[in-house]
Amino acid sequence: MWSDVFDVVLYGGWIVDGTGAPPTRADLAIAGDRIAAIGNLAAAEDATRIDCTGRYLLPGFIDAHVHGDAMVFDPEVQLAALAQGVTTFIAGQDGLTFAPGSAATSQYVMEYFGAVNGSWPGVAPPSIADMLTAYDGGSALNVGVLVPQGNLRFEVIGADDRPANAGAIAAMQALLERSLDEGALGMSSGLDYIPGRFADADELGALCAVGARAGAPYVTHMRGYESAAAQGMAEVRAIAEASGVAVHVSHYHGPANMLGGLVDDMRRDGIDVTFDSYPYTSGSSILAMVVLPAAVQEGGPAATLQRLSDAETRSTLDREWFARRQDELARVRLSYIASDEFAWAEGLLLPDAAAQAGSSVARFICDVLVASQMRVGCVFRQPPTNTDADVRALLRHEAHVAGSDGIFLGRFPHPRGWATFARFLGEHTRNLGDWSWAAAASHLAGHTARRFGLSSRGLLRSGFVADVVVLDPSTVADVASYANPRQPAVGVDRVYVNGNLAFAGGAVTSTPSGRGLRRGSS
């Protein structure tokens, strides 16, 4: 009777539905792009039947913070995600991506943030709508996009450190409103990056008021982490109170007692706040943000490169900036270098790379940034205030969702892009017991879908979109390491994206069936 209704029946497994309910023995049927039924489906004989005995079925995982904006078209990145059970990327992070904006804005992003987001294939899209259209069938993964505040500011003001007047704020608000109408899921900011760091709380609050009216969250790489997290969260609180927006803090890390308390205080005061984190104590970013003062970066990449090429500026930086940061610089490892001349230094710590080049660390930094036109990425050890115990405590917080902050460029990227979700499952769920399997499904999918308004995803429920992960709870694990980071995870058997088999047998299998996910639609 079901042969014309069900395409696939996954039978014999345990349903971990993403609501926080414990695993339940049941079958799951897919028809088209939807979950058609969950229960005892033994009579559905004519459908394709897949034996899932001993396996857990979970909702497709949603990476709340990932730099896959352009890299999602790369088959290796699709494999990295699907091998962990990730079916959806939330892109447009840290206040910078390829849209909205003019060609000049897109070019700025590709120059300044190229070591993180890469380059858009072909002509960069001028609008969020164009980005979402490109994702429809362009990848095996779904992609939702945030409106990047840095784009708004660059489009209206440029990369200069000056306040936004009323006219500039109105222009940014109009561009934000149009982008939200086109389907963006919210707005992001990157307050350590240029030009986002030049926006004050009043400017950010005025933009967030637009998001609040639309019911779209504000996602922020805030102004300060680790010991400065209290300062950063005070600004987040002020923005939320002024605008009424729901807030989500990106890659929250540092001393867990303090950070958890800051979130708890805000939630007790009625502020809707969540955060994402990844299970590592090292970070990754563009080298310029990590090692250069903001003043040197003002005006954009061309102005920065001119300063770094000037002998007097180099001397001043060496004497007054780099000399005071030797301990910080010693923790920085080069992950991606666009210049062929310096590609040999990928994987080396800055002091070791400088020594091999016969140079000082300061001179080497200037040389490699100039030769690479700023496109240099790095991995760095975070301060000792961020320990494994802090990571574990934060991931257990009720406001937590999972985000990899994955960056996929270079020979030695941070392993988190290949391993975060598998590490959460194998290490933190099975081995350490930080989560039950029910909690894991919530933190990796259910909570995240609610945060970003993905109303028909994140749960295994009849009528929801069939993003489904089938995994072996006894073997799922991360493999990637800092020394060998580009290694897919193991233990995920099958992944369905929008009802189509996207991953099986350790390989991406189908014609790309991912979608651009638009706010207010499924």
Sequence spans of domains, the chain: 61-283+383-456, 285-381
User: For the residues of 84-95, what is the DSSP string, one character each?
Assistant: TTEEEEEESGGG
CB distance 479 to 487 below 8 Å: yes
Distance CA 433, CA 52 (A): 24
Say what the pLDDT of residue 45 is: 76
Length of the chain: 522
0.95 surpassed by pTM = yes
519-to-132, 144, 179, 183 alpha-carbon distances in Å: 11, 8, 10, 5
CB distance 160 to 299 below 8 Å: yes
The two structure tokens encoding residue 59: 């909702």
The two structure tokens encoding residue 84: 């962990």
Q: What is the mean pLDDT of the chain?
A: 96
Say what the pLDDT of residue 2 is: 46
Say what the pLDDT of residue 1 is: 40
Q: Which CATH code is given to the segment(s) 61-283+383-456?
A: 3.20.20.140
Residue 353 identity (one-letter amino acid): A
369-to-104, 293, 396 alpha-carbon distances in Å: 21, 14, 39
Distance CA 75, CA 508 (A): 8
pLDDT band at 295 (very low <50, low <70, confident <90, very high): very high
User: For the residues of 307-370, what is the DSSP string, one character each?
Assistant: HHT-HHHHHHHHHHTGGG-HHHHTTEEEEEE--GGGGGGTTSBHHHHHHHTTS-HHHHHHHHHH
pLDDT tens digits for 412-450?
Answer: 999 999 999 999 999 999 999 999 999 999 999 999 999
pLDDT tens digits for 55-94?
Answer: 999 999 999 999 999 999 999 999 999 999 999 999 999 9
CB distance 236 to 273 below 8 Å: yes
Distance CA 448, CA 470 (A): 19
pLDDT band at 522 (very low <50, low <70, confident <90, very high): low
Say if residue 3's pLDDT is above 90: no
CB distance 287 to 369 below 8 Å: yes
CB distance 38 to 448 below 8 Å: no
Question: What percent of the chain is predicted at pLDDT more than 90?
Answer: 95
Going by C-alpha positions, the residue among 139, 31, 35, 183 that lies closest to residue 514 is 139
